[in-house]
Structure 1
Amino acid sequence: MNHFYGKSFLKECDFTAQELNYLIDFSLHLKKMKKNNIPHKYLEGKNIALLFEKNSTRTRSAFTVAANDLGAHPEFLGKNDIQFGTKESVADTAKIIGSMFDGIEFRGFLQENVEELAKYSGVPVWNGLTDEWHPTQMIADFMTLKEEFGSLAGLTLVYVGDGRNNMANSLLVTSAMLGVNIHIAAPKDLQPAKEVQSLAKKYAKESKANILITEDVKTAVKNADAIYTDVWISMGEDIDYAKRISQLLPYQINKELLAATGKKHTIVLHCLPAFHDKNTIMGKKLAEQFKVSELEITDEVFLGKQSRVFIEGENRLHSIKAIMAATLSELFIPEEYFD
């Protein structure tokens, strides 16, 4: 039987810690199959709708290649192809798309939209990112940690920067679920919402994970096995850029912060894209305007030997493939795995 069959993945706590661990292990297995050119067409003949209100390089590429590798046909529908809340309600869209497709990926703004898609479509729905959560990214991230360290038990993951965004939320809750110590270093007004902290603390009580949320970045990174960051300015965010950059520069991942871990083998993660140089239009504009050539991470660290950002990026493919295969195919998964 398949424990996951027909289920949606809208936020991390849709699944148990055991189920998340299974998806991580299955991702690693599928990566080996891909590298060894072993076919794994678990979704032969299926059709997958990819709904994108927000653009993405990695999420779109990963879902497209994953669907093709699994034998399914992906169909991309961008923001001009879906009419959520303008010409058609989410519920009406869900019913139609669910009648034509076997599974739906959604990447957009409102968590309630992906929840409504799952409620009315009648097919598995996968959250490729909303303003609140980024669950598919989590399987790739913890897969990368397990690949690097062999086990998740006892690891310490530190997130630095804007602690109120979807990445910080997801990393905080997922770490707490999986028993990974999680530290978040962020200015007081950029720390995770109280309800997200409460949810994480509930899981940490069960898993024995240590949670630390602090303004003191040097204390946070001590003994870190991995340091993680994300962009400081999100797409379309209406903020004072100068204030945000000034506020977060002390939380930049640079060689000094990496040295402050006290460990030689600390790795660096970033969900990408990253402002690590001036080789983008926005990066150049910000550099000229605010006299900074690098933002959340320095180029030296981003391209350095401790960086795993490109492995992490590739792992989006294998992890998304595992999520799709587990929830949409009739794989045999022994039930005792979840006992």
Structure 2
Amino acid sequence: MGNETQMELDLRGRDFLAMADYAPEEIRYLIDQAIELKRKQKAGEVYQPLKGKTLGMIFEKSSTRTRVSFEVGIYQLGGQGLFLSKNDIQMGRGETIWDTAQVMSRYLDGIMIRTFAHRNVIELARGATVPVINGLSDQSHPCQALADYQTILEKKGKLAGLKIAYIGDGNNVAHSLMMGAAKLGLHIAVATPEGYEPNPVETKMARDNAAKYGGQVTICRDPREAAEDADVVYTDVWASMGQEAEQREREVAFKGYQVNEALMKHAKPDYVFMHCLPAHRGEEVSEGVMDGEHSIVFDQAENRLHAQKAIMAATM
């Protein structure tokens, strides 16, 4: 950890809804905390600042990594996770999100939500009096981005000045990565087919932050242009959960956007490959790249646990 990030920041009671809500030094503080919590866990040190606390975990969208990492994470921090599927609670069916947030705040010490509409996350946070963590929405995936930047720092030893090529759908993951790059001083080049660009509002916000903090945000069509001299090459599935009906049409649109050995010749020789998973080998990424020596996808997946523990420990 650099000296500039040794400071103790008080983030108690804060929500974690989007990368945009946190200052660069706060994001870097959480990354450093994640690395420290990972060290403690690997060394077998017991660290339980959330002893006796309970996290409510609302899942309107199912998940492997989010469910397991949050449940294990709160347990390792001394607390307990309560899994709530959309069938377990009345939210949005028989009860407003605001009322649900008010009631759950009386029982819980924190709430994590994984949902479709980002407005549900905002509404929950407005009504709650305990910290709310965005485990994923259609607009933003900040827990993923935090874990990703932790992984890049571990592998590359620095963040500022690196180039990330993001190839594929300009989705929630792309939005959070763009904002993270903007605030942490990286150059991110996003290559998407026409009609699949990141949300223009998200792009403008990221560019405004990049101008302020020394990052750079490029949107282009050509995957080779994005991959040129990249330190990190990143992709995601072409059709996310809830977009299955568009699978065929997306396969046509994204033809030529596969991350494969030919494309990787444009990246730096020591590039690392990242994917937020689940991955479809042979579709958005070739088997050779996904399972090759440059791939760090499972280190990245592991860091969801450590990054989310850092968020919970800091806010709860």
Aligned length: 309
1:123-178, Cα deviation, whole Å (9 max, x unpaired): 00100000000011111000000000111011001100111x10111111111111
SS of residue in 2 equivalent to 1:176: helix
* SS at 2:243 equivalent: coil
User: SS of 1:71's equivalent?
Assistant: coil
One-letter amino acid of the structure 2 residue matched with residue 219 of structure 1: E
TM-align CA RMSD: 1.1
Q: How does 1:172-183 map to 2 (within 5 A)?
A: 172-183=178-189
Q: Is the 8 A contact 1:24 1:139 kept in 2?
A: yes
Q: Which residue of the partner structure matches residue 211 of structure 2?
A: 205
Pairwise mapping of residues 3-22 of structure 1 onto structure 2 (< 5 A)?
Answer: 3-22=10-29
Q: Does 2:148 match 1:148?
A: no
2:198 aligned to which of 171, 186, 192: 192
Deviations 1:287-323, CA, capped at 9 Å, x for gaps? xxxxxxx110111111110000000000000000000
Q: Is 1:237 aligned to 2:234, yes or no?
A: no
| Contact kept in structure 1, 2:30 and 2:310, CA below 8 Å | yes
> Partners in 1 of 2:228 and 2:254 — Cα distance?
19
Which residue of the partner structure matches residue 26 of structure 1?
33
Instruction: Give the ranges of 4+ consecutive aligned residues of structure 1 lying more than 4 Å apart after TM superposition.
Output: none
Deviates more, 1:206-215 or 1:263-272: 206-215
Normalising to structure 2: TM-score of the pair? 0.95
- Cα distance in 2 for partners of 1:240, 1:2 equals 44
In structure 2, runs of 5+ residues without a counterpart are: 1-7
Q: Indicate the residue corresponding to 1:96 in structure 2.
A: 103
* Cα distance between partner residues in 1 of 2:139 and 2:246: 21
Question: Within 1, Cα distance between the matches of 2:96 and 2:12?
Answer: 27
Is 2:88 the counterpart of 1:81?
Answer: yes
Q: Hey, what does 2:4 align to over in structure 1?
A: none
SS of corresponding position for 2:254: helix
What is the distance in 1 between the residues matched to 2:247 and 2:98?
A: 37
Return the match for 2:312 from 324, 331, 335: 324
For 1:65 and 1:170, how far apart are their aligned partners in 2?
A: 24
The alpha carbon displacement at 1:249 in A equals 2.4
Q: Structure 1: where are the runs of 5+ without partners?
A: 277-293, 329-339
TM-score, length of structure 1 as denominator length:
0.89
> Superposed, which structure 2 residues align to 1:1-339 within 5 Å?
3-163=10-170, 165-237=171-243, 239-261=245-267, 263-276=268-281, 294-328=282-316
CA distance in 2, matches of 1:146, 1:171: 14
In the alignment, what sits opposite 1:332? none
Identity of aligned residues (%): 41
Q: For residues 50-100 of structure 1, what are the alpha-carbon distances to aligned partners after superposition, in whole Å with 9 as ceiling and x for unaligned?
A: 110000100011100110100001110011112222111101111111100
